[in-house]
Chains A and B, each alone.
Chain A
Amino acid sequence: MAAKGSLPAAAGSVVVPYGHLVGSERWRGSEIARGLQGKTKLIFEDGLGLVDFHLSNRICVLYVSEADLVAGDEFKRRLVRFRNASSLGGIVIVEKTPISEQYFSAVQKLVVLQLGMALLPVANQEEASQLITQLVSSVERLRIVCHSVITCFRKLKRVREQSKDHSSNPFLRKQCSQLAEASVFRTVQQIPGVGKTKALLLLQQFGSIHQICNASVRELELVVGQTVAKQIHAFLGS
Chain B
Amino acid sequence: CAPTKPPSDEDAALCVLVDSREISSGTDVISALKAVHGLRVQVCSLGSCDYVVSNRMAVERKFQSELLSTVNRSKVTQRIQRLQGMFERVCVIVEKDRSRPGDPWKFLQRTQCYDGMLAALLQAGIRVLFSSCQEESAVLLKELALLEQRKNAAIRVPTEVEGSKQEMLNFYLSIPNVSYVAALNLCHRFGSVRKMVNSSPSDIAAAAQLSLQRAEELFRYLRYGFDAQMLPENISAKGKSDGATKS
The chain A residues found within 8 Å of chain B, CB to CB, are 91, 98, 104-105, 108-109, 112-113, 118-121, 123, 127, 130-131, 133-135, 137-139, 142, 169-173, 175, 179-187, 189-192, 196-197, 200, 203-204, 207-210, 213-214, 235-238
Taking the nearest CB of chain A, how far is it from the CB of B52, in angstroms? 18
Do B147 and A113 touch (CB < 8 A)? Answer: yes
CA distance A123 to B236 in the complex (A): 55
Enumerate 7 A-B pairs (CB-CB under 8 Å) in ascending A order: A138-B123, A169-B124, A171-B120, A181-B227, A185-B236, A235-B168, A236-B194
- What 9 pairs between A and B have smallest CB-CB spacing? A237-B192, A171-B124, A138-B119, A134-B115, A170-B77, A190-B171, A203-B226, A187-B174, A213-B197
Q: A134-B115, A172-B123, A182-B231 in contact; A187/B194 too (CB < 8 A)? A: no
| Interface-lining segment among B21-29, B36-44, B102-110 | B102-110
Do B175 and A183 touch (CB < 8 A)? Answer: yes
Residue of A104, A171, A213, A238 with most partner-chain B CB within 10 A: A171
Do A169 and B120 touch (CB < 8 A)? Answer: yes
Do B124 and A185 touch (CB < 8 A)? Answer: no
Do B171 and A210 touch (CB < 8 A)? Answer: no
Do A120 and B110 touch (CB < 8 A)? Answer: no
Residues of chain A with a CB closer than 8 A to B238's CB: 196-197
CA distance A105 to B115 in the complex (A): 20
CA distance A208 to B144 in the complex (A): 39
- B13 located at the interface, meaning its Cβ lies under 8 Å from any Cβ of chain A in the complex: no
Do A127 and B110 touch (CB < 8 A)? Answer: yes
Do B226 and A208 touch (CB < 8 A)? Answer: yes
Do A131 and B226 touch (CB < 8 A)? Answer: no
Do B118 and A237 touch (CB < 8 A)? Answer: no
Do A182 and B143 touch (CB < 8 A)? Answer: no
CA distance A191 to B143 in the complex (A): 39
Mask, B61-98, CB within 8 Å of A = 1, is 00000000000001001101100110000000000000
Do A179 and B230 touch (CB < 8 A)? Answer: yes
Do A123 and B115 touch (CB < 8 A)? Answer: no
Do B236 and A200 touch (CB < 8 A)? Answer: yes
Do B245 and A182 touch (CB < 8 A)? Answer: yes
- B232 located at the interface, meaning its Cβ lies under 8 Å from any Cβ of chain A in the complex: yes
CA distance A112 to B197 in the complex (A): 39
Q: A171-B84, A187-B174, A237-B192 in contact; A142/B228 too (CB < 8 A)? A: no
Taking the nearest CB of chain B, how far is it from the CB of A2, in angstroms? 21
Residues of chain B with a CB closer than 8 A to A181's CB: 226-228, 230-232
Residues of chain B with a CB closer than 8 A to A123's CB: 107-108, 110
- B161 located at the interface, meaning its Cβ lies under 8 Å from any Cβ of chain A in the complex: no
Residues of chain A with a CB closer than 8 A to B192's CB: 236-238
Taking the nearest CB of chain B, how far is it from the CB of A18, in angstroms? 17
